A = this chain, B = another copy of it.
């Protein structure tokens, strides 16, 4: 199942595009990145990409689609602890933690690029700035977890849902997948329930409330936020925790280009 559709190759590494969104690479860094062998694979919706208890020898970057990290508890209920969008590396942690403590599952169809651990380790040893950037990335993941703990622990259902929508919109924007205040977000209400820790029925009712207030629409796999300021206010959303990079518009555009380049 974790078998690949094509052999490892040396096409442009998507890590390169991801890192260029953050800082300018040296020639040496660029070369090192290009030497990391890649293996692409496509997973159908619902397939498990990595399983709790696994001891992977490689990690992957999500290139396309939406995936989720999730835990199942003894009663059989499932909690999604993180949603992944293109550019994320959901199991990079296995580079340092031997055994996975959660499943990673494809929500929609997902295209991913696997990289062997030995290659990533070599990359990090040779390029401390890249290592630092990946470390930083995992710190941002942690910041998102903190916000989710707060979201689930403290906010009422409609606010909780609104908060998730705000987060996803900004993260999608950061990788250029939005168009205005719309972005692709093809998840079912059942999945939103696993994300927010609430029942599908209550997700539905909360959603109706947000719709009724003209704050969002959410249909056909597209999320649209009609009034960002009011939704952010309503949900108590403050983007600080996403630690999005400040960068001049020109640089942002350049790296967006590099990104879509790598993706095709």
Where the two chains meet, the residues of A that have a C-beta atom closer than 8 Å to any C-beta of B are 52-53, 69, 71, 73-75, 77-79, 81-82, 93, 96-99, 101-102, 124-125, 128, 131-132, 134-136, 138-143, 145-150, 152-155, 196-197, 236, 240-241, 243
A77 and B146 contacting across the interface, CB-CB below 8 Å: no
Q: Which 6 A-B pairs have the closest CB atoms?
A: A153-B197, A145-B145, A96-B136, A101-B241, A74-B236, A79-B150
Asked whether A81 lies within 8 Å of B240 as measured between CB atoms, the reply is no
> Max chain B CB contacts within 10 Å: which of A71, A150, A153?
A153
Give 18 pairs: A residue, B residue, CB < 8 Å, sorted on A: A69-B146, A71-B147, A79-B149, A81-B145, A81-B146, A81-B149, A81-B150, A93-B139, A97-B143, A98-B243, A101-B147, A101-B243, A131-B135, A135-B135, A138-B138, A138-B142, A145-B149, A153-B197
* B residues less than 8 Å from A139 (CB atoms): 93, 96-97, 138
B contact residues around A81 at 8 Å (CB):
145-146, 149-150
Contacts of A75 in B (CB 8 A): 154, 236
| A99/B146 in contact, CB under 8 A | no
Select from chain B the residue with minimum beta-carbon distance to A131: B131
Q: Give every chain B residue within 8 A of A196 (Cβ-Cβ).
A: 153
Check if B243 sits within 8 Å of A82, measured CB to CB. no
Known contacts A139-B138, A145-B146: does B154 contact A197 (CB below 8 Å)?
A: yes
Counted per complex, copies of this chain come to 2
Closest to A140 in B: B97
When distances are taken between beta carbons in the complex, the residues of chain B under 8 Å from A142 are 93, 138, 141-142, 145
> Smallest CB–CB gap between A127 and chain B, Å?
11
Shortest Cβ distance from residue A223 to the other chain B in the assembled complex, whole angstroms = 21
- Residues of chain B with a CB closer than 8 A to A69's CB: 146
Q: Which B residues lie within 8 Å of A98 (CB)?
A: 243
List B contacts of A154 (CB < 8 A). Answer: 73, 75, 77-79, 197
A14 → B minimal CB distance (Å): 21
- Verify A149–B147 contact, CB threshold 8 A: no
Q: When chains A and B are docked, how far (Å) is the Cα of A149 from the Cα of B74? A: 15
